[in-house]
Structure 1
Amino acid sequence: MRHQAEMQGRLAHMTETLSQRQSELGQAVNQRLDGMSQRLGSTITEQTKSTHENLRLLQERLAVIDAAQNNIQSLAKDVVGLQAILSNKQTRGAFGQGRMEAIVADGLPMGAYEFQTQLSNGKRPDCTIRMPNGAPPLVIDAKFPLEAWNVFRDVAAPEARKAAAAQFRRDLEVHIRDIAEKYLIPRETQEMAFLFVPSESIFAEIHEHFDGAVQKAQRLRVVIVSPSLLMLSIQVIQAVLKDQRMREQAHLIQGEVAHLMEDLSRLDDRTRKLQGHFLAAQRDVEQILTSSDKLVKRGAKIGGLELESVTESASESEPSPPRAVESRSGLLKFRVVDED
């Protein structure tokens, strides 16, 4: 009975120890799961913020696209009255200036261009675009001799058309020469300037019928551009400006990339450590379950144990000596004393 009591005490102690280990294991697992849940929650929150920011930027860009589309639609509606609008010289200048300003403002960031800025000679070009690396700005002129062009386009008689073509050629060459003299200033502006033509059809007619004026403009370093060519040039300038900003910020970008790689390395180490902790915890749980199964089996065997007391005959006057009796199971040995 004493040995059985000791065995029961040991079993109770082992059960208590097992329960305590299970409780500690559950607490550790819960703490780790809580930490992972917090990290996952913070990551999801950051991703949500980033997604909202990207959607906001996309909405802003779509608003700009919608505004540009509205401008295009309004221009398409005004095509019928374009001739009447351009018949007035002042209105024609404002129309060309407006189209040029819209293209430049849509393609370049604020601060990369100026309208009607004054040069050292007192002249005010329609637009100046700042070039990267401290280079002089590029000058754009939006005026165009449209009166002579309208005459050339409207006349049908061969002689009158020839005279109108000569007049338009003279007006165009005079305007090209004025641009070269007024806006091409050494070390203050670029070595070339743009002459903006606010119509693709006029641009095509000039290159088809007035090749001499185009050649003279090239010799004077004046480039005749249509709306599509001006837009393309603005995109090239924008790419150059972006490349300059990237080069200026290259050291910062490299530093941020280095910090990012360090963070990724730390995250990888911590993830591997966490994986090792989970594997160790899994092994501990498996060992605990194995021990628990063994204890359950041993307890079942002890509960069903049958002891046999083997007594030997002895004289009545002499007490029987103690002897060892082995259980049938062969697991435990008890000292049994026969008493009268």
Structure 2
Amino acid sequence: MALFLYITIAVLLGLVLYFAFRKQTSGLSNELKEIRKELTESREKNIESLQKQLEESGRIVRDVTGHIKDVTSQLEKVHADHQHVKDVKEQLGKLTDVLANPKQRGILGEYFLETLLKNVFQPNQYKLQYKFKDGQIVDAVIFIKDKIIPIDSKFSLENYNRIVSEKDPTRRDELEKLLKQDLKNRIEETAKYIRPSEGTMEFAFMFIPSEGIYYDLLINQVGAVKISTYDLIEYAFKEKHVIIVSPTSFYAYLQTVLQGLRALQIEESAKDILKRVDVLRRHLLNYNDFLAKLGAHLGTTVNIYNRAYKEFAKLDKDTARLTEGKEKIEPLEIERPRNIEE
């Protein structure tokens, strides 16, 4: 009896423990489901957030890459510009070396002069390095009919540059006098090529291949320094018959000379046409004389013909009388040619 009771109690305890464990397991399963659901939702949110972050990172990377390309392109351009500046600097250095050497500076001025002449005239209308009878050579001449215009290139630069850089007023005044003397010497050198006895015009061009120096001469100023140079221009033109020109003003003078050459060519052509017309007129007059003589001869011939025909008609009359027949020939006269002048 006691054993049965123990067994019954054990069974009841087992059932109680079973149901209690089952209930606990069911609750734990629900909790696991909730946890799994929360984990799934959290994972999906994290994945979505991660995708957005990756997309944003990709956009940032693309923007950065674009900026890097732009910066690289700008750096390449800066490098190219820097190289260009270096090249220009080297060329300016070479030009400075050329301008510092009087001989090379003279060659450069002659080159500018030759370029201007080539752009305006035909090769037979000018000549470089023209030699006079005494052996002196002028840089160029322009041929106008049987006259020539001498052109000499001058480039006084040493004292000009010294005035620009000089700060001492006393020294600057001294340099001003030297510059004016340089220009006066160049004017007188150019004037030596005015030789009417050798076919030159009564004037010559003094070509200054620097617009800056020429402009300063016109405004009486070298850089920021006021100097008196306009009297030199008057001295050159009035006393030495030398016209000082720069590349721009010389081009305008050359255009005027070119128009004069064209006018001379037209004049020569007109003279040639008049000569030919005069020859044609003489030919026409000679032809008229021949026609007049021919007309006179024809008139004489017609008169003789008409007279002969009348005499022949008389023979016909005489024959008709002898034969007692009718006259068969009637005098046929032709008109003499009219005078051509009629």
Instruction: Tell me the TM-score normalised to structure 2 length.
Output: 0.48
Larger radius of gyration: 2
TM-score by length of structure 1 reads: 0.48
The structure carrying a bigger helix percent of its residues is 2
